[in-house]
Amino acid sequence: MRIALYGYGKMGRAIEEVATARGHQVVLRVDRDNAGAPPTGADVAIEFTRPDQAVDNIRVCIAHGVPVVVGTTGWYDQLGLVRDLVAHHQGALLWASNFSIGVNLFFRLNRQLARLMERQPHYAVRIDEVHHVHKRDAPSGTAITLARDIDLAVQRYAGWDLEGQEAVNADPQGPPAIPVRAERTDEVPGTHTVTWASPDDRIVITHEAFSRRGFATGAVHAAEWLLGRTGVHTMDDVLSDL
């Protein structure tokens, strides 16, 4: 596979290492100094840049008929626009707030636990995430996915609320929002914890990434999977085939 990397930062470099080890070739590296370059000569693009740059990069890849795997988080309010763009060009895009296989298993576990908790109203939920100090968005896209999945499964919650900020999608008269706490510490690659506590006990599930390699491996698997497909997909579709 010939790969165009959009974003040659911490993730771009980790992806290059994994992709090369799997026999792929990085034919283009797009970073700030050549931003907006088309994915000429690439079979697939992998995008890990910044929330405010992702949609422009998606646009250039889709317009050039190159499937794109998007790892950048924090742009999901524009997902509707991106779906229209992909449909219009009959393109291919795969996005995930977290590409690690472990986190995607964790998402499934979270959904299953939430479904059980729908019938146990004495348990209250909270989400905690910890990341390195360079991360721009808070809460993480992964924490938002966890919160949305709980919100969908459990009627006594509506939306989520980042500690110290306004509630999202929450009606002040309606059910409470899911509390989310975001901590920024040192070089932590990413830790997410979902806690369900009752007056008598507590169930805690945690995913802790040890490095960026798990995200990079998942992104390369996703690119291999996306080749030859059309439409908008997520990592859950890849996981179902693994």
225 part of the interface to ligand NAD, by CB under 6 A: no
Among 67, 71, 91, 179, binds ligand NAD (CB under 6 A): 71
**Sign of the CA dihedral running 92, 98, 99, 104:** negative
Please report, as residue ranges, which positions from 84 to 103 form the binding site for ligand NAD (by CB under 6 A): 96-99
Among 3, 72, 106, 170, binds ligand NAD (CB under 6 A): 72
Closest distance to ligand NAD from the beta carbon of 142 (Å): 8
104 part of the interface to ligand NAD, by CB under 6 A: no
What value does the CA radius of gyration of the chain take, rounded to a whole number of Å?
A: 18
Closest distance to ligand NAD from the beta carbon of 8 (Å): 5
DSSP code per residue over 140-178: -HHHHHHHHHHHHH-TT--SEEETTS-EES--TTSSPPE
Considering the complex, state which of residue 57 and residue 110 has its C-beta at the smaller distance from ligand NAD. Answer: 57
31 part of the interface to ligand NAD, by CB under 6 A: yes
Closest distance to ligand NAD from the beta carbon of 181 (Å): 18
Among 4, 8, 68, 179, binds ligand NAD (CB under 6 A): 8
Contact 174, 123 (CB under 8 A): no
Half-sphere exposure of 139 (CA within 13 A, CB side): 29
Among 2, 53, 89, 102, binds ligand NAD (CB under 6 A): 53
Considering the complex, state which of residue 35 and residue 153 has its C-beta at the smaller distance from ligand NAD. Answer: 35
Token pair 């992709």 is at which residue? 19
Whether residue 131 lies in the annotated active site:
yes
Give CA–CA dist 102/21, Å, rounded.
21
Stretch that binds ligand NAD, among 18-26, 72-80, 106-114, 175-183 (CB under 6 A): 72-80
For the record, the structure tokens of 116 come out as 């059980």
How many residues of this chain interact with ligand NAD, rule: CB under 6 A?
Answer: 27
Give CA–CA dist 218/224, Å, rounded.
10
Phi, psi (deg, nearest 5) at residue 207: -115, 130
Q: Name the residue among 192, 176, 178 with its Cα closest to residue 141.
A: 192
Peptide linkage before 139 cis (omega within 30 of 0):
yes
Which parts of this chain interact with ligand NAD (CB under 6 A)? 6-12, 30-32, 35, 48-51, 53, 57, 71-74, 96-99, 135, 215
Residues labelled as active-site residues: 131, 135
